[in-house]
Amino acid sequence: MLPSSLNPLGLKSVLGTEFLKKDQIQTILDRAQSLKSRMERSEPVEQTLKDKTVILLFFEPSTRTRASFELAAKRLGGTTLNLSKQMSSAEKGETLVDTARTIEAMAPDLLVLRHPSAGSAHVLDQKLKIPVVNAGDGFHEHPTQALLDLMTLLEFKKRLEGLRVLIVGDIAHSRVARSDIYALKTMGARVSVCGPPTLLPPFAERMGVEVFHHLERAVSDQDVIIALRIQFERLGAGQIPSRGEYSKYYGINSTLLGRCREDVLVMHPGPVNRGLELSPEVADGSQSVILNQVSNGVILRMAILELLVGDKIR
């Protein structure tokens, strides 16, 4: 393992975007873009993770994040080991720290953690010698999702500085919103949020974002709309009146898109509640880049793994 002072990020772990500096975000985006360009030219990918093992410790369900970390590690020549809560001795009462330290004793090189508790990745980072990548900790942060969002924005809009980005929906429970807001603001974007008052955190304005409750007013002039999943597993009773009402006032459909800039980009971290956050014609429409986000997710995670533990990075 490279000491963090010797890796190009100067970081041991990637735990969130809150404290990532602009040059660190730029290093990650540049690395991802360089990997993407080489893959598009069908050049072989350097096996910078040969002889490295990445542990995927996922205590919550995931399709995109888990699969893309696994593919990312394997495309760089690494080995992966998957552990879920159900497959591990956590089911028998072992603590997260004991589970992680037990795995670390088997000499892996990096651990990717998804966990329902906010702060869990930070705890493991303190307890382990190997790097930890936060793949989503409760409602706190999901840094690699934010970074792949930035990669996709750069690809389609060619800039982040001054870009007007509206995040719509369940901001209060969204680790994606939090990580997106920190990263976008660090890179100079102008961020707004829109949702029902019950789903907007009281600190939204303190985060330096403009707050809207009326979607029709919020969308005009935005370059990008990021719709968020309604997180039914984290919602308290009564936070949205009904699915029908939520979709009527905060769902993105083609009528609403008609009020937006012609070149507005529609994003969603997935999984989409179809017909709730996005109508099917918008989710699958020409302005949606949801599947581009997924494809970029593999490459962005390759970049993170390489930068943290890869060999001989050029």
Footprint on this chain of ligand CP (rule: CB under 6 A): 62-65, 136, 142, 145, 269-271
- Angle CA(201)–CA(290)–CA(180) in degrees, nearest 5? 30
In the bound complex, what is the minimum distance in angstroms from residue 177's beta carbon to ligand CP? 12
Please state at what angle helix 175-186 crosses helix 22-40, rounded to 10 degrees.
100
Nearer to ligand CP, 62 or 88 (CB): 62
Per-residue HEC secondary structure of 265-299 comes to EEECCCCCCECCCECHHHHCCCCECHHHHHHHHHH
In the bound complex, what is the minimum distance in angstroms from residue 61's beta carbon to ligand CP? 6
- The pairing of strands 132-137 and 265-267 is unpaired
Contact 133, 308 (CB under 8 A): yes
In the bound complex, what is the minimum distance in angstroms from residue 269's beta carbon to ligand CP? 4
In the bound complex, what is the minimum distance in angstroms from residue 3's beta carbon to ligand CP? 30
Question: Which token pair is 208?
Answer: 């330096």
> What is each CA distance from 36 to 26, 45, 128, 288, 303, in whole angstroms?
15, 10, 31, 20, 10
Cα dihedral: 124, 296, 299, 39 (round 10) = 180
Spatial neighbors of 51 by CB under 8 A, at least 6 apart, are: none
Measured in residues, the chain has a length of 314
- The pairing of strands 210-212 and 190-194 is parallel
In the bound complex, what is the minimum distance in angstroms from residue 136's beta carbon to ligand CP? 6
In the bound complex, what is the minimum distance in angstroms from residue 145's beta carbon to ligand CP? 5
In the bound complex, what is the minimum distance in angstroms from residue 141's beta carbon to ligand CP? 12
Nearer to ligand CP, 62 or 117 (CB): 62
- The pairing of strands 132-137 and 164-168 is unpaired
In the bound complex, what is the minimum distance in angstroms from residue 158's beta carbon to ligand CP? 24
Nearer to ligand CP, 260 or 298 (CB): 298
d(CA 127, CA 242): 43
Nearer to ligand CP, 190 or 229 (CB): 229
Contact 183, 146 (CB under 8 A): yes
d(CA 55, CA 61): 16
Nearer to ligand CP, 65 or 247 (CB): 65
> What sign results for the dihedral spanned by CA atoms 261, 148, 154, 289?
negative
In the bound complex, what is the minimum distance in angstroms from residue 64's beta carbon to ligand CP? 4
Nearer to ligand CP, 36 or 114 (CB): 114
Nearer to ligand CP, 201 or 269 (CB): 269
Nearer to ligand CP, 13 or 296 (CB): 296
Nearer to ligand CP, 149 or 190 (CB): 149
